[in-house]
Chain A
């Protein structure tokens, strides 16, 4: 045996494994007159409203700035993968876009990684900034007090329910559950009286990603008490919380009593698309704990035109656990436009942000994107107020809403929550054991800086 054989093999395996971790992408050369704009394109090929909107702003910008070009870089991927891709692009000046669309829940993590540049100098000279509401301004404000992103809308969350199915199940058309138990009771009534229908959808598990953690888990968790996830006073994450266990217990009940979708459907990364384009329109789903943007799926040019949704579906606030004050709970997120640290044309990118944020364009985006306005002027805009049934309901939830802890480690905490949910959903673990495991993971993530509640 020649001694080189194992070496060759070792090298071969190394290449196989190393190759998968050193992804490289060819950078498109930068040109001082072109702004490269990276954004996430929906994985559903029928959803192209964001692309259409950006195209229209691009046209306007290029008309107003002769000789300057906007290059849109759509990245068609699930949210997790989109974030990973953009983070890799931002690591090198060769591939860094000039403008990037950042989810508020990741932005602090990316700021900490040094991917983004502060916008304070630009904002100081921009009158429009005063139109933004304070919570929105805070969304992209880092621990260093600087602002790194311009938000273009937010969202709230509540319960959507199908009145037709409710009538069959003997439930009221004007449904107003007062606590978790009443939500579960309604689901049980549907299960009993309307067979073949999924009673209650609560997003869960790792595959849907942040959708499961925020729409599913945190909508429950933040209804269990004050600051159940992160204690801003102590500046520490909360471990061993009763609220955490109760929220997992709720998820466990939904999937254990078969009140939810089949676990294999619930853990499908495309479950959100199924809810919007199949289960609700086809009358297969009674209740979904879901977002304010749902209507955009059913408007005429949406992925699944369904004009009846305006009358068939009702919306009601998600109640707190035992109806404790304020009685209702909502979570809010949203996206921001940010400029990477390694962007070549930051000034021109900022000009494009300003074009996107003219009052008309800002209002247009909130309408086509089914967003909740983050600007005073847009919130008063009649086209916005009339744009979508239910928009006044979801705008009304802003007063009850909570924001996720805007901290760099949050995305990793979110992943740990997704894993805990998945265990409970598949029945691989009890809420208690899944919560214990989360506590352990949390301590690792934040180097033991936790408080026990």
Chain B
């Protein structure tokens, strides 16, 4: 029996086991919306802006192991989705985004609501398709899901002209896909793994650097086993938080621009570095030349060969699925019977503990002003470290990453690659739908939240009881911090004038709003927000925080990992050249 293209699409999504489609209707996709109406296998979530549809689908994926699905109309719907697609692309998140297109005879004629979606998204998708014939539709959707989640994951756009959704064809969903030109790596080269194992056993100052690839590749168990078996310190990048438990003593905190003193010093001074699904981003190592100014051997494991030796040359490159590579590595490590150099490790840990002893995340508490760090720490306590936390972009994002200890992967969702303000709230909605019983908190700023605040309406419609914590410093805080450091405190356009009353906004959308101005109210209000009484409600908390607080440590552009701007209580120690540090002995 022949069915319409729209019906075929719906059947494909059902075959893929899709539970939620996040979208927004329009002329080009009306046929699809009609077909969705006539089925009840998956739910459609109507967002208020297409950017939010993609972020919500993205976070649905980030907080589960499924592919996120978004549906947008042609033209403005499609262009609104681009920021979300680029966000997912830079963070390697598996998504299938379906966009409507004008009918095939109208393509290329500057038709109403026509935009070259395949052209516009080409630089920010893993792959994209324009389906010109209804007979190709099912196979294309199958390919899209396969490409999105295999190898290095990423977003795939399928652009479907309106007439293709109307044309009829037999439905046949392929069981499997074979694309001769696309064969993602799986097992790592055993010879290389052997070399890596030997190098690790010889290391005097080993360090393990874990990125988002370990989260996406679900390699947390293997990462944890490796770190513990070797007894070495490790770090998780912003995207890797949770891959190794954040509350464990072998974890030194996040590295990079706003990383901890101990993680950055260890990264700079180690002799063998294992990068696991991490790509030496400029926000992590700043400039490669400085990072390499201390000789070290680098073992780099990644599913994407182009991530290896892109910024920093790897001595031992291992291309493969991180989980499988680490398994092979652990196996070889066990079989080799070798043991790490205990004496050297003890020395190394002594140094690491000395660095850690400075307590670089210490801040000055206050009875008068709400310290943003304290809000995050209190959230951690109130939620018992169990919440799924989304964030937007800015100072609050860095404080969230620094002060909430993530023990599981897929618990921390943020736009690390593109740095998209407006991600937090729609992401929280997507995460809540994927994890109906979880506590979901969105840590945001008064600037960021206003980029997609209309999603409070979506949250109302779908009863997603997320807790929004706005760290409201009345500034585009991160911009203000840079202007303070690098532009002579000329706060050009970083002051958020004419701020709305967020409590009233929350109430206007049918939610609960609190305004908190006193540090002593932070904990009670958070307890109330997460209490059973408000379990079913979205709560928006407007924390009026200390306006002058800055994120430390900080590495300025072009500076090395051991040239951090440190918080006030550490300003002196930065002066002590590392080599003269007695604790370090003659290991350098």
Indicate whether A and B interact: no
> Which residues in B have some Cβ–Cβ distance to A below 8 Å?
none
